[in-house]
A and B are shown apart, each in its own frame.
Chain A
């Protein structure tokens, strides 16, 4: 009979944590931050088809780093959770807090019950009607939840702490979209360069999306193509900290070609409670 070695529970948990942390640190990073018009997601992602950032519901977005199959599974489960709640109750009853809770229970159970933990770190963000109502939750592989609504910034993935430092150093909740994107790209590029040099990230290396506070119905928008290049080139042309031309940039972003499609139509309203403000929107 094979010899059974004793391993203490502390040792098992430590090993699992280390395993999960290593897996997460291998991937490229994602940052999430609030800005004056909503919540901005910026991911370093070379693929245009495999997303790290996604829409969950009207005012809720999702971002993740780590193993794709694992966070994709959580993403789909989150959409099902949100759609089922919205269908059984009302669209307003779908909240980021409830979803973060469900994710925490799920990740926690997987961490303790299964031999291999999920190698993921995820963010659930909800855009509020006012900036102080924005909610940002970060969830780690063991089911811990960190409420980052006060700081308004989240960095996940490899070298998250260094990125987070850059983010928190310059983040303000009343930043324009352009300033916020500029800061996000600068923070992502602050690590991983040769000899500690900052890297320059191009539009093709980024996946960018926002939860737009000013929209009714579905607020999630991807910023791609010309709109993204426009926002990034303006970044080079202008000096640091200049907030000019933020409004056209926001408008351009909203009209960008995107997969998600214009969801601000009255389709997004539950027919039971028709929102009069959505009626005339193009």
Chain B
């Protein structure tokens, strides 16, 4: 039987206790075993026992934010998956991408999605964008023990700030460290093994106030450059037709580019590289 269910069928007292709008806080009372970071780990390093997710890039545009992630997961020198998805909509106006231990990252991101939706339903209003980033930081902080044993996971969070005074500067990006530090980034950021190369590419090409379409193209170029230099980052797979996941968050909400749209951009980037491999 799943945790938190009373055999008599009635809702247990912890469900009807008023006070919290946080799903994580509720879980810690109703079903603490479902929370990541609460499980005891065996002593010693646990890296390379499970797949690792790699590069995510995000950048702000005049209309909002763009986030893109490659599709590769690695385990040591092996490719664990060539079509993993690492970029998700956290809610209607924000996006989250994960790098590091894939299993922990996906669990954390799922919990984060429920956390935001739960708050919105109970309170009847959404958390502020900074509030969401701080919530995510708390979750990362709770994973510190596991992170030090090699199961680290780092998210990248970006969203459209519906409370912003100037809609042209409503796109915001937040990065995190394993200790739970949260930092607002200006313009663009990347995480994961290929982030060094993706950021170098973006540094040369990114301009303040780019359009959304240009932003998508820039993100795709940056991922190509990361895949060019980093073995753990996958490039566009033209034979199997697997392309990076690209998402946007604008005033209209968060949206994932369809496979065809992402394929079109990726193919254009590849065409450009046929003439000039350096971009």
B18 touches A85 (CB 8 A): no
Tell me the interface secondary structure of chain B in the complex.
mixed
**How far in angstroms is the closest Cβ of chain B from A143?**
9
Which residues of A (215-268) have their CB < 8 Å from a CB of B? 218, 259-268
B122 touches A267 (CB 8 A): no
Q: CB < 8 Å: which of A83, A101, A267 contacts B118?
A: A83
A80 touches B109 (CB 8 A): no
At the interface, yes or no: A27 with Cβ under 8 Å from chain B? no
A75 to B31, CA, bound (A): 20
Which residues of A (42-69) have their CB < 8 Å from a CB of B? 49, 51, 54-56
Q: CB < 8 Å: which of B3, B8, B90 contacts A267?
A: B90
B122 touches A87 (CB 8 A): no
A279 touches B30 (CB 8 A): no
**How far in angstroms is the closest Cβ of chain A from B157?**
13
Q: Please give, as numbers and ranges, the residues of chain B lying within 8 Å of A73 by CB-CB distance.
A: 16, 18
A177 to B37, CA, bound (A): 47
At the interface, yes or no: A162 with Cβ under 8 Å from chain B? no
B106 touches A271 (CB 8 A): yes
B253 touches A282 (CB 8 A): yes
Q: How many A-B residue pairs have CB under 8 A?
A: 127
At the interface, yes or no: A105 with Cβ under 8 Å from chain B? yes
A90 to B47, CA, bound (A): 29
Given contacts A85-B2, A106-B11, contact A279 B85 (CB under 8 A): no
A266 to B67, CA, bound (A): 14
**How far in angstroms is the closest Cβ of chain B from A142?**
14
Q: CB < 8 Å: which of A79, A84, A102 contacts B31?
A: A84
Given contacts A83-B114, A89-B2, A279-B258, contact A265 B121 (CB under 8 A): no
- Number of chain B residues close to chain A: CB under 8 A: 48
Q: Please give, as numbers and ranges, the residues of chain B lying within 8 Å of A25 by CB-CB distance.
A: none
Residue among A108, A266, A272, A280 with most chain B CB within 10 A:
A266
Which residue in chain B gives the minimum CB-CB distance to A220? B121
At the interface, yes or no: B277 with Cβ under 8 Å from chain A? no
A101 touches B253 (CB 8 A): no
Which residue in chain A gives the minimum CB-CB distance to B109? A271
B91 touches A267 (CB 8 A): yes
**How far in angstroms is the closest Cβ of chain B from A103?**
8
Which residues of B (243-279) have their CB < 8 Å from a CB of A? 247, 252-259, 261
B10 touches A105 (CB 8 A): yes
Q: Please give, as numbers and ranges, the residues of chain A lying within 8 Å of B257 by CB-CB distance.
A: 280
At the interface, yes or no: B92 with Cβ under 8 Å from chain A? yes
Which residues of B (6-29) have their CB < 8 Å from a CB of A? 8-11, 15-16, 18, 23, 26-27
A83 touches B23 (CB 8 A): yes
Q: Please give, as numbers and ranges, the residues of chain A lying within 8 Å of B122 by CB-CB distance.
A: 76, 79
- Besides the contacts A88-B34, A261-B126, A265-B92, what 18 more A-B pairs have beta carbons closer than 8 Å? A49-B124, A76-B18, A77-B16, A79-B121, A81-B11, A83-B114, A83-B118, A84-B31, A105-B10, A261-B91, A261-B120, A263-B117, A267-B90, A267-B116, A271-B109, A272-B106, A279-B258, A280-B257
- Residues of A participating in the B interface, judged by any CB pair closer than 8 Å: 49, 51, 54-56, 73-74, 76-77, 79-81, 83-89, 101-103, 105-106, 108-109, 218, 259-268, 270-272, 274, 279-282
- Residues of B participating in the A interface, judged by any CB pair closer than 8 Å: 2-4, 8-11, 15-16, 18, 23, 26-27, 30-31, 34, 85, 88-93, 106, 109-111, 113-114, 116-118, 120-122, 124-126, 247, 252-259, 261
